[in-house]
Amino acid sequence: MRPHVTCTCPAKLNLALAVDAAGSEGLHPIASWMVTVDFADDLAVTMLEEGYLSRYAVIWHEDAPQTSEIDWSITDDLAVRAHMALEAHVGRALPVQVKLQKRIPVGGGLGGGSADAAGMLRALNRLFDLDLDPGEMVSIAMGLGSDVPFMLHGGSAMVSGVGETLEYHEQVPEFHAVLVLPAFSCSTGAVYKAFDEGEQGTFKADVVAGAISSPPDPTLFFNDLAEPATRVAPPLGELMAQVQTIAELPVHVSGSGSTLFVPCTDALHAGALGASVREQLGVATVPVAARATETELMEST
């Protein structure tokens, strides 16, 4: 009987995002209100016997709304890198069989790779009874990417620094939205380069803090990377205008794009608006709600 862990790896939205100028190491401090939503990748991790080589399968889930070619090396996949980083941390092999079924699009600003890496760290910690404390987990996560520490816990949090400072909120706010998933992606590096080339304003960390409320007030949402993203990918600006005409509501960019989201009053509104945008523009949409990260399910097979 081989024990295995299954978990969901939810996408995140940046409801408010302030970006500061790059520091001496080339990293941009941020302040962001992040929430996880009920749009997620599925991860299954099965323990193998000692001495076995780990093996991985990364595929699109059959109900993924927007797919692209999985053309990266398996060792470049962030979930696989998380596995290798945890093995290095504990100083021994942790042989597993991994099946990752993706729904979150690549290069969409939803943190899909970060979610998968965080899910892998959680799954391995439980599967191998490693009992790593939260500080150790965050330290490993920071080596993988700035969104990974938040994804370890998910829910709702003020995230600052370069992702290492987390102030979690007791409750996940009631929040509904429609995700609009264009067929093109945005390069995070290119968007930050465009940000650096633009006019540098005041770092608005206090504005992010002031935007945090329950229920959320969409009039306070903003994203310092939205304008640079539309310069990197001009079709994104065109799509924003088209969606705004249909929704008659403000349209926001998550992270560095290319995903757009429109805050909605409830699930019924989100479903109806998503269908309307999909029918009129021929672009993939997903109605979502804010949610906490679910506890991993551990079984024996």
Which amino acid, residue 210? G
Taking alpha carbons only, the member of 145, 139, 298, 75 closest to residue 83 is 75
Q: Check if 206 is active-site.
A: no
Whole-number Å distance between alpha carbons of 219 and 221:
6
- If we measure between CA atoms, which residue out of 162, 212, 151 comes closest to residue 192? 162
Calculate the dihedral angle through the C-alpha atoms of 271, 158, 182, 148, rounding to the nearest 10 degrees: -120
> Cα-atom radius of gyration of the chain, to the nearest Å?
19
Q: How far apart are CA 172 and CA 169, in angstroms?
A: 7
Q: Which two tokens stand for residue 186?
A: 């945005």
Catalytic site includes residue 266: no
Catalytic residue among 20, 41, 77, 147: 147
CA distance 42 to 29: 30
| The amino acid at 171 | Q
Catalytic residue ranges: 12, 147
